[in-house]
Chain A
Amino acid sequence: MELLKFSTAGSVDDGKSTLIGRLLYDTNSLTTDQIQAVEAASKRKGFDYLDLSLLTDGLSAEREQGITIDVAHIYFNTDKRKFIIADTPGHVEYTRNMVTGSSNSQLSIILIDARKGVIEQTHRHFFIANLLQIPEVIVCVNKMDLVDYSEDTFNNIRIEFEEFVRGFDRLHQNLTFIPASSLKGDNIVNKGESMDWYNGPTLLEYLENVQVNQDVNITDARFPVQYVIRPQSEEYHDYRGYAGNVASGKFNVGDEVVAFPSGLTSKIKQITTFDGNLETAEAKQSVTLLLEDEIDITRGNLIAKAGNGPRVEKEFTAQLCWMDTTASIPGGKYIIQHSNNRVKAMLKDVEFIVNTSTLEKDTERKQLKLNDIAQVQIKTAQPLFFDSYEQNKVNGSFIIIDEGTKSTVAAGVIL
């Protein structure tokens, strides 16, 4: 069984909670006590229907206001796959939570209310999916029951959406459109009888069959060193292993490798795991590498295959989402955490700030506020060893940390 992580973006009004509730309910993923708790809470609130948002809105403040504020993670599985939903809010003031929830997703579901069509919020949701280069986007046109299951309405929304998407310089997505009614259950898990004109898969069918891991870079071998293992025991006297998670590509025993920043070369002597030694380690595997030669390697260093190294630079262009309530300081000093490396950095210049719904660029404003998405110039005190995010997601992304508060204030992708 494979694991698929996907995200949903939207607010209660779009029927997002009902959609998730329907997915869980129709796949028998809810237990009796969970349903009973929702029933009791719905009754207390005076609702005459099951308020399924109570399942996902885990904080008192969210239930009080009837909105999703923070990302919730929801788990379910079918016979074919295990799923993790990152349920994110849809309002502009929670853009950072949307970015957070979507960052680890392999697929994003954008919800559209069939009565309202493509709105400002839809633009923002797609903008973020595109910024993060999520390979699969499902546009789910929901509440079809309220527009008499009209094929024309669905097609018009589709045309409007495709037109908006043409405004983007680069498209990284495979787009799929599904007309649905989560309230009635049409095209979520079961097909239903109301939309004979639609011949595509239901939402769950698509989720179960879509190809995963399309966003893994399999060509450029990168191994960021997380931790140096030295048992200092009798049995493993001179053992010196470099523990880490393979960021991309693959490493074989005998491969000639280069360590960054030192530039020193060696060969892979052994690939260790608790369950035995391996011949090959591939992307996403947590392993420990042993080298033929004793060279100086510490946490934050990168091991790559000889002849295929990363970019080693101190200045680069990136796209940022500012995530802190305190605005950025133009020219200010921060800490960048890239891979397992932390370096001092300066926000050298803000080239432009994008309006995520109109795609207009503001080149005047230089201070980034909460939820702003911008293109910036960054200068670091020491060189970083990176690839562009487009080539290599794991080695092309970073976060910015405020030295004073120690908070994560921004997320960035390297261009």
Chain B
Amino acid sequence: MNNHLKTLEEESIYILREVAAQFERPALLFSGGKDSITLVHLARKAFFPAKFPFPLVHIDTGHNFEETIVFRDWLVNKVGAQLIVGSVQDSIDQKKVAEETGKYASRNALQTVTLLDTIERNKFDACIGGARRDEEKARAKERIFSVRDDFGQWDPKRQRPEIWHHLNGMINFGENVRVFPISNWTELDVWSYIKQENMDLPSIYFTHKRNVFERDGLIFPASPYINMDGEDIFETDVRFRTVGDMSCTAAVLSTADNVDDIITEIKASTISERGARFDDKRSEAAMEKRKLAGYF
């Protein structure tokens, strides 16, 4: 096995076992993206031959790629996990959040409210997420065990020091912890690992023909969830590099139909992974602001 992937894997397994040991009601936040799929794979390894001792939680924006939902249900069945779905539509119906309006309306930011609601309802004390530090500069400052207050907020100035391998998951009543076992992985590491472990992925990561339109130099999937502004729709070969809410995830022109080609493509790419995410382009501190509010 590749040496540095082995090092990363051992570290992630160690972290996942710490979560199971230190918390009473942990959960794994599953988006259907490659990072959370990698987490599920690592969790299976960490507790083998037992099943991993936490449910999968999906925050459903209602604006998903259908392929991701199909994949989610297939995977849940395959690994025999419990699935809990938190619905953004429910939060809207309960008037806890209001749908954004205008050309750039997206449900991505609304997820935070549904997430915090789901955490509270299920009394989760730790939520495992697939965020990586290489994704974004505010995430580069994130701890592996990230303590959130009663309101789910991140306070970057009051982060606990994380020294050596010691992870301190002690919390007071009402607080909870976000855990990021693949903090130290890069996008390329995740893809190399997917290849090495021969992991299954949703089909939208690979090339397919799709109706798309261009906006601000990025290519978006044509869908009823996006407020079109008279842009022209055309069909072309695309794939997705990151999978989020349909309204904020741009596609890349690509004919890569296998993991090797994707790795070659990423190595040669001159834009970063989150360069295709519209939610991060809103301002220089977009991610930091969302994290302060409880985003993962």
> Which A residues contact B (CB, under 8 angstroms)?
1-3, 31-34, 37, 41, 55-61, 63, 69-75, 77, 81-82, 84, 96-97, 99-100, 103-104, 226-227, 229-233, 235-236, 239, 241, 243-245, 272-275, 284-286, 288, 299, 323, 335, 337, 340, 393-394, 397-399, 401, 405-408, 411
Say whether, besides A3-B8, A100-B161, A406-B172, A74 and B18 are in contact (CB < 8 Å).
Answer: no
- Per-residue CB contact flags for chain B residues 174-205 toward chain A (1 = under 8 Å, else 0) read 00000000011010110000000000000000
Closest A residue, CB atoms, query B185:
A75
Does B3 lie within 8 Å of A226, measured CB to CB?
no
Among all A-B residue pairs, the 4 with the closest Cβ atoms: A58-B137, A231-B50, A274-B45, A33-B275
B89 within 8 A of A: no
6 A-B pairs with C-beta separation under 8 A: A1-B4, A33-B271, A58-B141, A72-B137, A273-B48, A407-B160
Cβ 8 A contact of A406, one of B2, B171, B186: B171
Does A75 lie within 8 Å of B134, measured CB to CB?
yes
Q: Please, how many residues of chain B have a CB less than 8 angstroms from a CB on the other chain?
A: 56
Say whether, besides A31-B272, A34-B272, A337 and B168 are in contact (CB < 8 Å).
Answer: yes
Query: A49 to nearest B CB, angstroms?
Result: 18
A397 / chain B contacts, CB cutoff of 8 Å: 163-164, 166
B44 within 8 A of A: yes
B8 / chain A contacts, CB cutoff of 8 Å: 3
Does B275 lie within 8 Å of A56, measured CB to CB?
no
B165 / chain A contacts, CB cutoff of 8 Å: 104, 245, 394
The secondary structure that dominates the A interface is: mixed
Query: B124 to nearest A CB, angstroms?
Result: 17
Say whether, besides A75-B134, A231-B50, A393-B164, A60 and B272 are in contact (CB < 8 Å).
Answer: no
Query: A333 to nearest B CB, angstroms?
Result: 15
The secondary structure that dominates the B interface is: loop
Closest A residue, CB atoms, query B13:
A286
Does B184 lie within 8 Å of A59, measured CB to CB?
no
Cβ 8 A contact of A245, one of B10, B159, B186, B288: B10
Query: A12 to nearest B CB, angstroms?
Result: 15
* Given A3-B4, A236-B49, 5 further pairs, Cβ under 8 A: A61-B157, A70-B156, A73-B133, A81-B4, A408-B161
Query: B284 to nearest A CB, angstroms?
Result: 6
A408 / chain B contacts, CB cutoff of 8 Å: 160-163, 166, 168
Task: Tell me the B231-245 residues at the A interface (CB within 8 Å).
Answer: none
B138 within 8 A of A: yes
Does A73 lie within 8 Å of B21, measured CB to CB?
no
Say whether, besides A33-B275, A243-B46, A243-B47, A323 and B138 are in contact (CB < 8 Å).
Answer: no
Query: A214 to nearest B CB, angstroms?
Result: 15
Distance A69 CA – B141 CA, assembled complex (angstroms):
10
Does A398 lie within 8 Å of B269, measured CB to CB?
no
B51 within 8 A of A: yes
Closest B residue, CB atoms, query A232:
B50
Cβ 8 A contact of B4, one of A2, A31, A236: A2
Does B162 lie within 8 Å of A100, measured CB to CB?
yes
Distance A394 CA – B164 CA, assembled complex (angstroms):
8
Task: Tell me the B258-296 residues at the A interface (CB within 8 Å).
Answer: 269-272, 275, 284-285, 288
Distance A81 CA – B4 CA, assembled complex (angstroms):
9
Closest B residue, CB atoms, query A244:
B17
Distance A69 CA – B155 CA, assembled complex (angstroms):
13
Does A231 lie within 8 Å of B49, measured CB to CB?
yes
A55 / chain B contacts, CB cutoff of 8 Å: 137
Distance A201 CA – B134 CA, assembled complex (angstroms):
28
B136 / chain A contacts, CB cutoff of 8 Å: 58
B70 / chain A contacts, CB cutoff of 8 Å: none
Does B49 lie within 8 Å of A239, measured CB to CB?
yes
Query: B49 to nearest A CB, angstroms?
Result: 5
Which of B134, B136, B166 has the largest count of A CB atoms less than 10 A from its CB?
A: B166
Cβ 8 A contact of A286, one of B14, B21, B284: B14
B188 / chain A contacts, CB cutoff of 8 Å: 77
B98 within 8 A of A: no
Closest B residue, CB atoms, query A300:
B21
Closest A residue, CB atoms, query B197:
A275
B101 within 8 A of A: no
Query: A104 to nearest B CB, angstroms?
Result: 6
Does A286 lie within 8 Å of B17, measured CB to CB?
yes
A84 / chain B contacts, CB cutoff of 8 Å: 184
Distance A139 CA – B201 CA, assembled complex (angstroms):
46
Task: Tell me the B40-70 residues at the A interface (CB within 8 Å).
Answer: 44-51
- Per-residue CB contact flags for chain B residues 2-31 toward chain A (1 = under 8 Å, else 0) read 111001111001100110110000000000
Does A103 lie within 8 Å of B50, measured CB to CB?
no
Query: A264 to nearest B CB, angstroms?
Result: 22
Say whether, besides A72-B141, A73-B133, A226-B14, A37 and B49 are in contact (CB < 8 Å).
Answer: no
Distance A284 CA – B137 CA, assembled complex (angstroms):
29
Cβ 8 A contact of A401, one of B141, B164, B170: B170
Distance A2 CA – B292 CA, assembled complex (angstroms):
35
Query: B289 to nearest A CB, angstroms?
Result: 8
Closest B residue, CB atoms, query A58:
B137
Does A286 lie within 8 Å of B168, measured CB to CB?
no
Cβ 8 A contact of A288, one of B48, B138, B139, B164: B48
Say whether, besides A73-B133, A393-B164, A401-B170, A31 and B51 are in contact (CB < 8 Å).
Answer: no
B79 within 8 A of A: no
Does A75 lie within 8 Å of B168, measured CB to CB?
no
